[in-house]
A and B are shown apart, each in its own frame.
Chain A
Amino acid sequence: MADFIDGSENVTVHGIFNWIRLLIIFSVITVIGNYIGYKHPMTDSLVGMGILSFITLAGVWMERELPFNISSILYISVIGIVLALPVMPTSEFVLYYVSKVELLSIVTVFLAYVGIGMGKSWDEFKALGWRAIIITMLVIAATYFGAAIVAHIVLVLTGVPAV
C-alpha cells in the first residue's frame, strides 16, 4: 500500500463538506436514473435521497468521532432501523419519501462506480490464472447456496408459509 495517508490530515469541515458534495452528486444521479427507470416524481425521490444521505453522513461521522471501534455500516443500519420503526413518529415521513427511491436505482448508480473502480485491479486479475478464477467462482457460489439452503431448511422447519 503505497499511498497510506501520512497522518497530517484531519477530519475537518473540509472532509465533511467533501462527503456532503459527493452525496449530493450521488443523489442527483440516482434521482435521474430513478425517474427514467421508474417514473417516480423527482422532488419526492430527491427528499428520499436527502434522508438516506443524511443517515449515511451521520453514520460516517459517528464512526470517526465517537470513541468506539464500530463500523459506520452498523451506525447507519441502527439509525435507519430506528427511524423507520412503526412506533416512531418519524416513520411515516421517512417511509413515504424513501419508498420513492427504488433500491435498484441506488444499486445501478453504485455499481457504475464499482465498475470503474474495479478496472484498477484488471492487470492483477489477468495475472492470476484460470485455476484461481475457478476457485473464486466456486467459493462465491458455495457461500450463496450454503446460506440459501440453510435458510430454506430452517424456514420450512419453523413453519413459515411459502408466499
Chain B
Amino acid sequence: MGWVFISDRDNDGKVEHIYREKTDRRILKKNPWRDYRLHGTVLFLVIIAELIGTVNIPITKNVAITIMPLIYTIMLGLIFYLDKNIRWIKKKQARIAEGAMMLFIGVLIAKLAISSGQSIHLIFEMGPALILQEIGHLATILVLPIALLLGFKKESIGMTNSIGREPNVAVVVDKYGFNSPESRGVFAIFIIGTVIGTIFISFLVTLSLSFLPLHPYAFAMASGVGSASMNAAAIGPTLAAFPGLESSIEAFAGFSNLLSFCVGIYIVIFIALPITEKFYNFLEPKIGRGSLVKEKEDDDNG
C-alpha cells in the first residue's frame, strides 16, 4: 500500500513529500468540502473582485500600474482571516484553504500544460532560452553580501541560495539539520514569502513590464519562479501586457514551471548551495558584522 510510506514520519529526503503530506493531512482527515463558510466566502471574494475588474493607475504617460482581480482576492482573503469581526474564517478554515490550495494548484498546472501541449513546437524553437533561464535563478546568491551587511551570519546561506519555497526548505533542512542557522534562514524566507511573496511579485512584474524592455517570452519564462502561487501572480500582469500572445505566454509559463519542478531542485542541491557556501566563506571574514540580529527562538514550524 503506497500510503504507508507516504505518511512516514521521517521525510526521507524526498522533497515532493512535503506537498503531498500537507494536502493529505488536510484533505483526508476532515471533510473540507463541507466547510461551506470557507467556500462561500471565496465565492463572495471572487464575485467582488471580478465586478471591480482590472484597474489601471497611470503614473506617467507610458507607465501604468495594473491592479488585477487576483490582487483583490488575495488581499481580501488575508484581511478576512485577520479581521477579528469575521468569526467564520479562522485557523481551521485557513488550514483547509491551505490543503485545498495544494489540490487546486493541479487545475492551474493543467491549464498551463494544455497551452504548452498546443504550442509544443515552441519548446523546440526556444529550448535553449527555457533551459538556460533556470540558471538565472542563481542570481539570488547576489543578495548574500546584503544579508551579511544586515548582520545575518550562517542564516544568510539558507536565505539566499534560492527563492526558499517548500522544495528548497526541504533541501536545506535535509543538508544542515532542523535547528541549524541555515534552516532558520530558509524558514524566515519561507514564511515571509508566504505572506508577501504573491503580492510583491505581482507589483514587481507590473513595474518590470513598464520599465524593462525585455522580450515578452522572457517575462513569460521568468514567471516560473518555483512557487505555484507566485507563478500565478506573476503571469497575470504578463498576460494583460501582451494581448494576442496569451497562448504562447501560457505555454512558456507552463514549460518553465515544469522545468523548475524537474531540474530546479537539482540546481539548488548541486550548484546553488555549494556556490552560496563558498561565497559565504569568502565574504564573511571581509564584510561580516557582529551578530546584530538576536537569536530568535527556534522556528519549529516546517
Contacts and interface: CB of A to CB of B under 8 A. Distances in A.
A158 B159 CA distance: 34
Interface in B14-62: 14, 16, 19-21, 23-25, 27-29, 31-33, 38-39, 41-43, 45-47, 49-51, 53
A114 B101 contact: yes
Interface in B192-217: 192-198, 200-201, 204-205, 208, 212, 214-217
A152 B293 CA distance: 38
Interface in B73-121: 73-78, 80-82, 89, 91, 93-95, 97-98, 100-101, 103-118, 120
B152 interface: yes
B137 interface: yes
Contacts of A156: 215
A15 interface: yes
Contacts of A107: 70, 108, 232-233, 235-236
A41 interface: no
Which of B9, B132, B212 has the most chain A CB atoms inside 10 A of its CB?
B132
Interface in A22-65: 22-30, 32-33, 36-37, 49, 51-53, 55-56, 59-60, 63-65
B46 A112 contact: yes
Contacts of B208: 144-145, 148
B258 interface: yes
Contacts of B198: 111, 114
Which of A4, A91, A105, A131 has the most chain B CB atoms inside 10 A of its CB?
A131
B104 A124 contact: no
B128 interface: yes
Interface in A98-138: 98, 101, 103-122, 124-125, 127-129, 131-138
Contact of B143 (A10, A142, A154, A163): A142
Contact of A73 (B29, B42, B106, B233): B106
A82 B73 CA distance: 32
Contact of B107 (A53, A79, A163): A53
Contacts of B242: 163
Contacts of B46: 29-30, 32-33, 108-109, 112
B28 A5 contact: yes
A77 B189 contact: no
B3 A113 contact: no
